[in-house]
Amino acid sequence: MRIIIKFLPTNGQQIPMPTNERQLRFLAKAELEPAVQANVWQQAVEQAGNKIPSGRIVKDVVDRMCESTKVPNPYHIGEICILLPKDNPDLKGKAGYWGVVSHAREYTCTVQTWDGDYTIKIEHLKSLKLLDEDCFFMQQLCVRLRQLHQVASRDEAVDWLLQGLGKQAKPYLSSLQAKLLATVEREYKIEWRQQK
């Protein structure tokens, strides 16, 4: 509380001070600089009609401030990214998977992996920063893996191959990997023609 008092403007204004911990809880959680905390408190006081604001009002101001300072989406369609599950339960078991960004919004992306499409916050992605031709190779590989994944009666060995290649975030296949993939595609009569 002393930090807020120190950073509040004192040009003749009398700004109400916090009276309990609940009013400051969201300020503390936001881990903002002291001067920014004072600014948030001042905005919350104004929003409360120049009275002591409730914790909810402080939270609203903190949320607005944090939302307005978020970095816009750095990813673009066609980019190859690694999934970072962190605290996202929808991505459980997907650590290390790579995927192709198929749609980019302000704070999320839809990413295609070998086993489906996932809408993910940008903080759950990490770009591989590949050259265009390497991105193209990975996009084509993703299409091939997805076609295999759609085969309903596939052998479980195919799943091992899919999982292995779905985590190998490299823009090439070894000679053996390429032969294995081609053999499995022939086995399930999947015609693959490289797109240009």
What pLDDT sits at residue 9? 60
What pLDDT sits at residue 75? 94
Express each pLDDT in 66-122 by its tens digit. Answer: 666 566 789 999 999 999 988 788 888 899 999 999 999 888 899 999 999 999 988
Express each pLDDT in 135-154 by its tens digit. Answer: 999 999 999 999 999 999 99
Biggest CA-to-CA distance, the chain: 82
What pLDDT sits at residue 4? 60
Burial class (CB in 10 A: 0-12, 13-18, 19+), 170: middle
Identify which of 138, 61, 156 has the alpha carbon closest to the alpha carbon of residue 100: 138
What pLDDT sits at residue 71? 63
pLDDT-derived band at 12 (thresholds 50, 70, 90) equals low
- Residue 23 φ/ψ, nearest 5 degrees: -65, -25
What pLDDT sits at residue 184? 96
pLDDT-derived band at 8 (thresholds 50, 70, 90) equals low
Measured distance CA(37)–CA(178) in Å, rounded: 56
Q: What tokens appear for 138 in the block?
A: 């990975």
Measured distance CA(128)–CA(132) in Å, rounded: 11
* 176 HSE (CA, 13 A, CB side): 1
What pLDDT sits at residue 106? 83
Express each pLDDT in 18-73 by its tens digit. Answer: 888 787 777 777 767 777 778 888 888 888 888 888 888 888 888 777 666 566 78
> Between residues 129 and 13, which one has the greater pLDDT?
129
pTM here is 0.64
What pLDDT sits at residue 48? 87
